[in-house]
């Protein structure tokens, strides 16, 4: 016998754990489960009935001596219990020994060595299993049907858990890259299929609510029906699971991102932490909320803890990096980015953020061209519009927005999601391009098109600032400067209280442009100066190299002094290791 090819198998009930590599099977079906929960199971099965302390498990899962491992270990055990259908309150397999560790309390039926299965063996086993099952049904009649139904229900629950875990991983990947409607819909469909398999799976309801919430946040679906569906998902999750951490975190996201109540969001996160240790993704939410509440110094250590617990989650790194850049800490932001690049190189975009501190657009250009080759995303047009403008390529800028297609675009920001911003006509971009080109009639025509779009919009709490700001842009394009200034004032009064990167920066940048072009340089410069120094803010080159500031403010001495100060702050690309 070739013992090198043999695998140790530990069996309990219908389950089997194989080593080299670690794999878990339910009957003859391989179960999809992440590596860390498998390692926990292996440790517990190696000492059935004995306490395995937290420190021992931590040393196995995080060999580099992570000290704050509680949340990560809790998450691994929670995922393992979810796969095994084990209830923490009435455990069948895994008993929690408070503050000490865990114990496997199930019955281990055997520990054997299995030779590798020959080709086709698993299929033969399945056929044999069906044959035996058929025989049992014939012999025992109704009892056999009950057994078959029970196994079918068990398989359906198992499939639902696997789908849910697939959705969790897929959503992490979406969070770390470009989010498109198709990507969001794909993840929503995964959770829907999980719920169809097991309507009692609370995590799937909560996470589908999160995806529907993201459709609102990203502007892909601002409809009341989508928001109501998200609320219904969270209500169902609470009904099934109670006020557990994963439900409370999703409710916090709803409170802040849809209802605009960041204080309630933070209070719900406090409840979530009291209910149990938060995992990496949930800690990311807490850090994001603290940054948005103007408390970034409290957010940094939480981001650091989050990536230690979930080092493969690109969304954590993206938010951490973006907030460090907006806190005028670019060197630390690049350190975080390189930490992730060491695992998955080039996954996180950074070109626009690098430009904002170095004035070097090369990386930004590479990222835009790569996106165009793979099919420009919905916000790709505005991204390229900003890049061409910063590069000073006005002829190319005109070509980009001259045609009738696409008719609409989504505004972009370096961190993507701007709550309350739907798709809007390309006439907005064309109007600014015409102002830069000195074509007043062309700008006025674009402003008229923008107003026709606005006449079709429905006002809501989420767009209380964005619609007046868009009105102000249309007015300045039409040359109605006094009206534009009044509309900017209305928009600024309606801004949300939070200080998140996009919802704080984007409207103030747009307001400063309108004020600069409508003859109020003092108000424009007050906004620009705050963006150059406050949190969240912009890097020096994003302001000093902006033609939509430099053209209308060129003769203003205050602008000239600010621009000189900002140019002196611009770093060489080598300083950031970019």
CA atoms of 242 and 236, how far apart (whole Å): 9
Give me the pLDDT at residue 490, please: 94
**Segment among 294-303, 490-499, 524-533 with least mean pLDDT:** 490-499
- Helix orientation angle between 54-61 and 70-84, rounded to the nearest 10 degrees: 90
pLDDT of 441 above 90: yes
Mean pLDDT over 149-170 rounds to 81
pLDDT band at 88 (very low <50, low <70, confident <90, very high): confident
Give me the pLDDT at residue 232, please: 96
pLDDT band at 154 (very low <50, low <70, confident <90, very high): confident
Pick the more confident residue, 67 or 169.
169
CB atoms within 10 A of CB 117: 13
Torsion sign across C-alpha atoms 547, 551, 555, 556: negative
pLDDT of 312 above 90: no
Tokens of residue 73, six digits: 């270990």
Give me the pLDDT at residue 71, please: 63
CA distances from 553 to 16, 366, 521 (A): 72, 31, 7
CA atoms of 494 and 488, how far apart (whole Å): 10
Tens-place pLDDT, residues 244-298: 999 999 999 999 988 888 999 999 999 999 988 898 999 999 999 999 999 999 9
Mean pLDDT over 407-421 rounds to 73
CB atoms within 10 A of CB 124: 11
CA atoms of 165 and 308, how far apart (whole Å): 20
pLDDT of 120 above 60: no
Torsion sign across C-alpha atoms 214, 216, 221, 227: positive
**Segment among 139-148, 202-211, 474-483 with least mean pLDDT:** 139-148
- Minimal CA–CA distance to 324: which of 296, 361, 355? 296
pLDDT of 141 above 60: no
pLDDT of 540 above 90: yes
Considering the entire predicted model, what is its pTM?
A: 0.74
Give me the pLDDT at residue 528, please: 97
Contacts of 115 (CB under 8 A, 6+ apart): 1, 2, 5, 6
Mean pLDDT over 390-398 rounds to 96
Give me the pLDDT at residue 131, please: 34
Considering the chain, what percentage of its residues have pLDDT values greater than 90? 51
């Amino acid at each position: 016998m070739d013992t090198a090819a043999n695998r140790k198998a530990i069996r309990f009930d219908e389950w089997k754990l194989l080593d080299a590599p670690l794999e878990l099977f339910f009957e003859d079906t391989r179960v999809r489960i992440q590596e860390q929960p498998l390692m926990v199971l292996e440790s517990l099965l190696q000492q059935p009935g004995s306490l395995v302390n937290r420190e021992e498990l931590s040393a196995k899962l995080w060999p580099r001596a992570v000290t704050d491992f509680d949340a990560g270990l809790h998450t691994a055990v929670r995922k393992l219990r979810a796969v095994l259908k084990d209830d923490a309150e009435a455990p069948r397999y895994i008993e929690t020994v408070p503050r000490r560790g865990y114990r496997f309390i199930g019955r281990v039926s055997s520990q054997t060595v299995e030779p590798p299965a020959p080709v086709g063996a698993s299929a033969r086993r399945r056929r044999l299993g069906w044959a035996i099952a058929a025989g049992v049904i014939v012999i025992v009649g109704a009892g056999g049907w009950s057994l078959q139904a029970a196994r079918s229900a068990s398989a359906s629950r198992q499939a639902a858990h696997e789908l849910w875990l697939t959705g969790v991983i897929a959503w992490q990947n979406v969070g770390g890259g470009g989010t498109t409607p198709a990507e969001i819909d794909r993840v929503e469909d995964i959770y829907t299929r999980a719920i169809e398999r097991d309507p009692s799976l609370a995590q799937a309801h909560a996470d589908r609510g999160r995806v529907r919430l993201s459709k609102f946040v990203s502007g892909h679906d601002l409809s009341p029906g989508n928001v109501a569906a998200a609320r219904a998902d969270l209500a169902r999750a609470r009904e099934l699971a109670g006020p557990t951490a994963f439900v409370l975190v999703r409710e916090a996201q709803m409170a802040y991102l849809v209802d605009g109540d960041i204080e309630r969001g933070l209070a719900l996160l406090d409840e979530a932490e009291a209910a149990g240790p938060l995992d990496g993704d949930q800690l990311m939410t807490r850090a994001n909320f603290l940054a948005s509440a103007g408390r970034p110094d409290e957010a940094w250590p939480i981001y650091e803890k989050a990536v230690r617990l979930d080092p493969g989650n690109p969304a954590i790194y993206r938010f951490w990096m973006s907030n460090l850049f907006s806190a005028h800490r670019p060197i630390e932001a690049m350190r975080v980015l390189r930490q992730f690049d060491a695992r998955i190189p080039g996954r996180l975009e950074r070109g626009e953020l690098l430009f904002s501190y170095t004035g070097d657009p090369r990386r930004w250009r590479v990222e835009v061209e790569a996106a165009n080759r793979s099919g420009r995303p919905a916000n790709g047009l505005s991204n390229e519009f900003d890049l061409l403008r910063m590069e000073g390529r006005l002829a190319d800028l005109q070509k980009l927005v001259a045609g009738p297609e696409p008719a609409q675009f989504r505004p972009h920001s370096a961190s993507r999601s701007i709550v309350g911003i739907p798709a809007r006509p390309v006439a907005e971009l064309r109007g600014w391009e015409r102002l830069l080109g000195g074509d007043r009639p062309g700008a006025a025509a674009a402003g008229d098109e923008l107003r026709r779009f606005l006449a079709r919009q429905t006002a809501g709490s989420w767009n209380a600032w964005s619609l007046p700001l868009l009105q102000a842009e249309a007015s300045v394009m039409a040359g109605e400067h006094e009206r534009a200034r009044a509309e900017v004032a209305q928009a600024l009064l309606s801004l949300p209280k939070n200080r998140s990167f996009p919802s704080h920066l984007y409207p103030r940048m747009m307001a400063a442009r309108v004020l600069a072009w409508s003859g109020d340089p003092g108000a424009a410069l007050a906004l620009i100066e705050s963006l150059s120094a406050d949190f969240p803010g912009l890097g020096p080159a994003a302001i000093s190299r902006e033609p939509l500031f430099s053209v209308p403010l060129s003769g203003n001495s205050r602008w000239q002094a600010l621009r000189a100060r900002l140019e002196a702050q611009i770093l060489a690309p080598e300083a950031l290791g970019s």
